[in-house]
Amino acid sequence: MARCNNILIRDIPLFGCIAFGIIDRGTNVLQVRPISECPLSCVFCSTDAGPHSKRIASAYMVDLEQLLCAFEWAASYKEIDGIEAHIDTVGEPAMYPRLVELVEGLSENSHVRTVSMQTNGTLLNAKLIDKLEAAGLSRINMSIESLDPDLAKRIAGTDSYNLGKVIENAEYIAQNTEIDLLIAPVWLTGINDEEIPKLIEFALRTGAGKRWPALGIQKFLPHKYGRKPDIRPMSWEIFYSRLREWEGIYRTKLVLTPEDFGSFECRAIPRVFKRYEKVKVKIVGHGWMRGEKLAVARGRVITVVNADSIPIGREVYVRMERVVDGIYIAR
Ligand code: SF4
């Protein structure tokens, strides 16, 4: 990555930006994003994260107290219990220095039933896993794409990727803690086809899937600004038929639905902008990707594209281009 702005997010709204804060897609799952960095540079990364990124311009870290406060507001607004706080991020959650306190704060929230997180597993160790368990973490979704060390390094785009350590962490979670483990490989056709059955066997042998499914196999989906490896395209039909075939062979659930995780639709936090609406915003900082700036209006943060020349602190009119799931992109 070329020079990157390191930005501590404090005193700006935590709703509206894909790269940090809280995302509410109108279900009982609130996505919590405390940090945006990642130590890997996976060849398939949908967010172009990590040291090899060509587009990322800023790395964000969110103030813990503000994050917990915003979470409490969103959780109470939904007027339900049974919320899942899902720490996912556009990078690697374990890079957040106050991860244990974050898990603790979320699990102590009276609306929360489940605290889960995604990780590539590289930054975990037994001591940290024990602390996360004591803090109330319910499930870890760990992405592992291959059990072959060389292929795993190539896919991670990082020579220092240590598959042995990742496997050790996965086994420790499944066998020594109450935290459930879900192995979540991305199937890259033509690259890791032979690894998928091996990963299913590994997950089952290790003891993943104590309360939730043991595996969450994902089909690779190219993203406009993500990295795209040279893979053979695969239809959804073939993808699901292979999963069903493996379900028969391994006697485990592989075709998943939101119900498998106890997810349901509920009241969404207010959406404050309409598409194509003209809005006066205040530019408050550098954007996540090159050419972008962060702006604030109506208690939300907005990503303004093509904004290189707009100085921070300036008030400008923008047009809302995208308003899906309370994530706002303007021009
Ligand atoms: S671990 Fe995830 S966020 Fe990091 S580079 Fe790989 S795919 Fe991207």
Q: Which atom of ligand 1 is nearest to the CA of 39?
A: 4
In a domain, 271, yes or no: no
Asked whether residue 239 falls in the same domain as residue 303, the answer is no
pLDDT tens-digit profile, the chain (331 residues): 456 899 999 989 999 999 999 999 999 999 999 999 999 999 999 999 999 999 999 999 999 999 999 999 999 999 999 999 999 999 999 999 999 999 999 999 999 999 999 999 999 999 999 999 999 999 999 999 999 999 999 999 999 999 999 999 999 999 999 999 999 999 999 999 999 999 999 999 999 999 999 999 999 999 988 999 999 889 999 999 999 999 999 999 999 999 999 999 999 999 999 999 999 999 999 999 999 999 999 999 999 999 999 999 999 999 999 999 999 999 9
Distance 109 CA to ligand 1 centre (A): 29
Q: State whether the beta carbon of 95 lies less than 6 angstroms from ligand 1.
A: no
- The CATH code of the domain that includes 220 is 3.20.20.70
Number of domains, the chain = 2
pTM higher than 0.75: yes
Q: Which atom of ligand 1 is nearest to the CA of 47?
A: 8
What is the predicted pLDDT for the residue at 157?
97
Asked whether residue 212 falls in the same domain as residue 284, the answer is no
Distance 51 CA to ligand 1 centre (A): 11
Q: Which atom of ligand 1 is nearest to the CA of 38?
A: 4
Asked whether residue 128 falls in the same domain as residue 198, the answer is yes
Domain boundary among 261, 289, 314: 261
Dihedral over Cα of 285, 287, 291, 295: its sign: negative
Q: State whether the beta carbon of 45 lies less than 6 angstroms from ligand 1.
A: yes
In this structure, what is the dihedral angle of CA atoms 93, 99, 103, 106, given to the nearest 10 degrees? -90
- Which residue stretches of the chain are H helix? 64-77, 99-107, 126-135, 149-156, 163-176, 195-206, 236-250
Domain boundary among 261, 295, 315: 261
